[in-house]
Amino acid sequence: MPGPTVGPDGDQTVPLRPKGDGAATPQGAPFATATVITLGSLVALGPFTTDLYLPALPDLTADLHSTAPAAQLTLTSSLLGMVVGQLLFGPLSDRLGRRRPMLAGLVAYTAASLLCALADSMPVLVAGRMLQGAAGSVALVIARAVVRDRLEGTAMIRFLATMGLISGLAPIVAPVAGAQLLHVTDWRGTFVALALLGAVLTAACALGVGETLPPERRHGGGLGTTVRAIGGLLRDRVFLGYLLTSTFAFGALFAYVGGSSVVLQDVYRISPQTYSLVFAVNSIALLAGTQLNGRVLVQRYSERTLLVSGLTAAALAGATVVLCTTVWDTGLAGVWPALTLLMGAMGVILPNANGQALTMAPHAAGSASALLGTGTYLCGAVVAPLSSLGGHPSVTALGTVVLGCALLALAAFLPLCRSK
């Protein structure tokens, strides 16, 4: 990359996977317990926004007299909102500090959630979900920035790992909670619950999270520096390879997240509660894969071996789903284990691809993170509705999208991520 690369705030950042003893000495006072809980809850807001209402997708589709592809656009629009929100709130917090954008975003999130609850048509709900995603992205962006402001080196890495664990647990809890909510309310009640969560987080941040970016570290315009840093990263062959690998792998993940609710419930006629069980088991597989990767596999195998193995497993999962619906008539008994394998593979693929990409840019981690977030959420937004593209939910289409994304990830990784 040309010249020294820096993040939009002008600060050098620490690689996620430092070599040897090169980690910076931890600095900054540790967070109070209440602040740790609040920051962890902010990280979990994104998965809750995405997953809490998934068991209610068939019900809201019928209630709004719409179609399955239109209902899945509510997920797509939320993901697109998250892309825009990340690009907005990150630079804004560098100019204004963390506190004001964080509170403004959470207030907007609460209002957008209420708009979704009151939606009387699918277009209104899709628009509300886009606003909800954009506003909710402030939680993840600024939570990480707050940690970076206060900690560095191994202390920061450990704290971010804790936040990642919470983020991994959230997809397990959210659909189960959403399914249980449907016992006492309808789909609108799930969005009321998200509005209440937004209001609680707004109050918690207002009372328990102070400003962490002092005025002397803020800047009025880092657009030119940011553009140069991003351009340098995109011109680096290996970084681009990891970026594309992560992007397409995330596409396979969101093909499952976006399509499984409608597909499994409509095709196999399972209840929202049974679907929440399937989703929870598969989310546990994702969490187990992540923990196994971080605690055992990275100590024994090379990053290249792990990524090739994980991507191959994801492709095998997609191929199995296709075969179980075209060649063999196995029903859910054959499809469910394949989807569980997919989620376990994601626990290996995504941490390694993202970690290696960020390691490639030790002095531009902010720009690298922005590219990773934008690429993955854009890809997720595109593939989420594809399993119902023909107008009817299809398990075969879901497996085909998973297989295609996994093969594209392999096609990007193998030639581009070779050693220079």
Q: Which residue has the higher pLDDT, 63 or 392?
A: 63
- Tens digit of each residue's pLDDT (9 = 90 or more) over 333-354: 888 999 999 999 998 888 888 7
Q: What percent of the chain has pLDDT over 70?
A: 79
- Tens digit of each residue's pLDDT (9 = 90 or more) over 252-298: 988 887 777 777 888 888 887 788 788 888 888 888 888 788 778 88
Contacts of 348 (CB under 8 A, 6+ apart): 289, 290, 292, 293, 297, 306, 307, 309, 310, 313
Q: Which residue has the higher pLDDT, 178 or 218?
A: 178
Q: Which residue has the higher pLDDT, 408 or 177?
A: 408
Q: Domains in the chain, start-ordered, CATH in brackets?
A: 29-218 (1.20.1250.20), 222-419 (1.20.1250.20)
Is pTM beyond 0.75? Reply is no
DSSP codes of every residue in 267-302? HH---HHHHHHHHHHHHHHHHHHHHHIIIIIHHHS-
Q: How sure is the predictor about 110, in pLDDT bands with cuts at 50, 70 and 90? A: very high
Cα gap 134→272, rounded to integer Å = 27
Question: pLDDT value at position 412?
Answer: 95
Over residues 54-74, mean pLDDT: 87
Over residues 383-403, mean pLDDT: 78
Question: pLDDT value at position 152?
Answer: 60
Contacts of 367 (CB under 8 A, 6+ apart): 5, 7, 8, 226, 229, 230, 233, 361
Closest CA to 73 of 130, 16, 23: 130
C-alpha distances out from residue 29 to 32, 154, 212, 257, Å? 9, 14, 11, 38
Question: pLDDT value at position 9?
Answer: 39
Q: Which residue has the higher pLDDT, 118 or 41?
A: 118
- Residue 36 and residue 160 in contact, taking contact as beta carbons nearer than 8 Å: no
- Tens digit of each residue's pLDDT (9 = 90 or more) over 312-335: 999 999 999 999 989 888 888 888
Over residues 360-365, mean pLDDT: 57
Q: How sure is the predictor about 305, in pLDDT bands with cuts at 50, 70 and 90? A: very high
Average pLDDT, the chain: 80
78: how many CB neighbours lie within 10 A of its CB?
30
Question: pLDDT value at position 419?
Answer: 65
